[in-house]
Structure 1
Amino acid sequence: MVNETETFGIDPAAGHPERVLALGYAAPAVRHGIASLFALDATLAKLAMGTRDPMVAQLRLTWWHEALAALPSGDPPAQPILRAMAAAGADGAALAQMEIGWERLLAAPDDAALSAFGEERGILFCEAARLAGAPDDATTAGRGWALADLARLTVDPALSSRAASLALPLLAQASAQRWSRAGRFLGALVHVARADLAEEQAVGAPARVLRLAWHRLSGR
């Protein structure tokens, strides 16, 4: 994933070593395109949660929305994430909805806005599954992962707790299915998110890594 970070200017795994493993489960032919989708998400997250001025964040997020919406219409800007997504055949119009989700966090989101955020950011999983040719239920998985990761990212304890409560049943449902070989990188991300929320073992603990290895073999 180091090379991907150099290519995109941001780590698609968002600094999480177990996500590096999980994303590595994607088939080699689609791995770079998948990484570009997660680099997009990491970029939007940084803008929404790491920009002090909400107006500046809004302007930067809007640029990404417009660039994504225009992706199918011609050559993308000379931006490596957009170029990689275009080469992979990503659906820019669908991915533009992710920006709307992140934009909801610029104001204090109520539970309805949080649920909408999960659906919109969760499009990341749906598009990744489409590019990978995976037939799995990526919608529920994406919603749960989006909310669980927000619970991990935010410094607001109340928001973290609310996001985690919404995420837990979705992640339980997503992890109950047997994932196809093509979709096991997404299933692995679901297991990582559940382990993060449980906080029972440190990231990279042997039991967590072995759980991912078992999922790669079994789809469970």
Structure 2
Amino acid sequence: MSEADEGLPPLALLLAAHAGARAQRHRAIWAFDGRLAKVARTTSDRAIGQMRLAWWNDVIEDVDARKGRGEPVVDAMRASGAMAAPGLVAMIDGWEVLVVEPEIDADGLRDYAVGRGGGLFRALAEMGADAADAPEWLVAAGQVWALWDLAGHVDDPALADAALAMARDLLPQADGGRWPRGWKPLRIAFTLARQDVLAGRGAPAGMSRALAWRLLRIALVGR
């Protein structure tokens, strides 16, 4: 396991393991998401949080690949080709909502979901740089996943309920998509989230034996 992989949640590692030859790239993107999550989790000053997120934006746009050199996640993204993935800037925009907004309303939740979730799924799926290149159902699936994940990691029950309600409303847009074989990790992630959203549950903490069995079933039989 590389230094960039340290601290990745078990779910991200398991999902990346289903990416085959693209596993290193997937782990790098998940690690990037984890860095952005840390900014949102540890920053109390909105201006400082925005500066930290802007640093990552500058890294992505650095055509000379010099900025951030030596930072494990930056190096992993460049080595795996993940730095060129579409959706990375959108992910930053999504996480910024949680950094700058003292209270998250419906518009804020939607912006977070579109940015973080839609951007993440586009990045992992290796879609074109234009959002129009990604199927709408894939972006909706990413939004469902991000809202499910948020619901399981916030201390505010009202915000968690609002996230799950929005995720349920998005399910019809995400259901029915045909998942290419190369998108297996995304199919597993969405199916797991879908099951919990319908049951009124957010993302679980950690990796229990029951969750591991659920993931295995989804991987093998699709549900």
- TM-score surpassing 0.5? yes
Distance 1:210 1:68, change over 3 A: same
Structure 1: gaps of 5 or more residues: none
Residue from 55, 69, 84 that aligns with 2:76: 84
- Asked if 1:111 is matched to 2:106, the reply is yes
In 2, the alpha carbon distance for the partners of 1:66 and 1:187 equals 31
Question: In structure 2, what is the equivalent of residue 124 of structure 1?
Answer: 120
Q: How far off is 1:99 after superposition?
A: 1.1
The one-letter code sitting in structure 1 at the alignment partner of 2:125 is: A
Residue from 88, 93, 98 that aligns with 1:95: 88
Query: How many percent of aligned residue pairs carry the same amino acid?
Result: 33
Distance 1:84 1:138, change over 3 A: farther
In 1, the alpha carbon distance for the partners of 2:97 and 2:146 equals 13
Q: How far off is 1:155 after superposition?
A: 1.6
Contact 1:12 1:36 in 2 (8 A): no
Question: In structure 2, what is the equivalent of residue 23 of structure 1?
Answer: 16
In 1, the alpha carbon distance for the partners of 2:218 and 2:85 equals 30
Q: How far off is 1:41 after superposition?
A: 0.7
Q: CA RMSD in A?
A: 2.8
In 1, the alpha carbon distance for the partners of 2:52 and 2:94 equals 14
In 2, the alpha carbon distance for the partners of 1:186 and 1:100 equals 21
Contact 2:147 2:164 in 1 (8 A): yes
Distance 1:87 1:19, change over 3 A: closer
Distance 1:216 1:75, change over 3 A: same
In 2, the alpha carbon distance for the partners of 1:180 and 1:60 equals 35
Structure 2: gaps of 5 or more residues: 128-133
Structure 2-normalised TM-score?
0.78
Q: How far off is 1:50 after superposition?
A: 2.3
Structure 1-normalised TM-score?
0.79
Deviations 1:34-92 (A, max 9, x none): 1111111111111112222222222211111221222xx12242122222222333336
Contact 1:129 1:138 in 2 (8 A): no
Q: How does 1:180-195 map to 2 (within 5 A)?
A: 180-195=180-195
Q: How far off is 1:30 after superposition?
A: 0.9
Q: How far off is 1:93 after superposition?
A: 6.5
The one-letter code sitting in structure 2 at the alignment partner of 1:57 is: G
SS at match of 2:208: coil
